[in-house]
Amino acid sequence: MARPNHDHIHLRCLRDTYARLGCFPSYAQMAIALGFKAKNAAYKLTQRLIASGHLMRSVGGRLAPGPYFFTAEMTDKEVRASFEVESEASTIMHSQAIEHLIVTKPSQTVLLKVRGDSMVNAGIHSGDIAVVEKSNQATSGQIVVAEIDGYFTIKQFQSKSDGTAALVSRDEQNRTVTPRQTFNIIGVVKGIIRSYHPPAAGRTA
């Protein structure tokens, strides 16, 4: 009788280990962590995960995350942010690479940390990570990272009827800034990454 395949369970453990250590353990350490009797079993596991695209070999032959290593389970249902409608939990799951939800051109994508609160009404807060696709063009209304008169900023791009460009903040002031000398679009914001920290128990907003 064939042994049941528990690679998906072992993969979860490896993801947690990599997130904690920033690297993969040795085969001997991996065998202990996964409950294998011998490190050869850990080696065979990594070979299967390499074949499935979850792991890969980097320079020097070291193990590294593959293109599917950071996939997460995603349901086919949405969760409603309201109390009026009940939502049933779905049992249908599929693997989804988190970066694929936002990134369409990996070679042209960079991550930038946001500082300041001039875009809070656009849902962008200080400390967020902006996923930026490099481009020197944008459509009016898009959020961009741009250089204006020697400094870099993240704002909403606005193309005026006279052909000139401006940047607009999205806070209580909604301030519009037009370039005096230089203006260059660096990239278009495709998404925002935020680490959510709920308020401590007993505290109210």
Cα dihedral across residues 102, 104, 107, 108: positive or negative: negative
Q: Say whether 155 is catalytic.
A: yes
Topology annotation, domain 106-193? Umud Fragment, subunit A (2.10.109)
Select the more confidently predicted residue: 117 or 104: 117
Query: Residue 171's Cα: distance from chain center in Å?
Result: 25
Q: Among 53-67, 89-103, 137-151, 157-171, which range has the highest average pLDDT?
A: 137-151
**Over the stretch 40-73, which tens digit does the pLDDT of each residue have?**
999 999 999 999 999 999 888 899 999 888 877 6
Rg (CA), the chain: 23
Spatial separation of the C-alpha atoms in residues 133 and 189, rounded to whole Å = 6
Q: Is the pLDDT assigned to residue 86 strictly greater than 60?
A: no
CATH 1.10.10.10 location in the chain = 1-101
Query: Residue 110's Cα: distance from chain center in Å?
Result: 11
* Ranges 72-76, 91-95, 142-146: which has the least confidence: 91-95
Q: Say whether 160 is catalytic.
A: no
Q: What are phi and psi of 81, to 5 degrees?
A: -90, 55
Query: Active-site residue among 107, 113, 140, 155?
Result: 155
Query: Active-site residue among 52, 95, 105, 118?
Result: 118
CATH dotted code for 1-101: 1.10.10.10
Residue 131's pLDDT is 92
Within 13 Å, how many C-alpha atoms sit on residue 86's CB side? 1
Q: Are 129 and 192 in contact (CB under 8 A)?
A: yes
Q: Is the pLDDT assigned to residue 201 strictly greater than 70?
A: no
Q: What are phi and psi of 44, to 5 degrees?
A: -65, -35
* Ranges 91-95, 116-120, 143-147, 174-178: which has the least confidence: 91-95
Select the more confidently predicted residue: 56 or 162: 56
CATH 2.10.109.10 location in the chain = 106-193
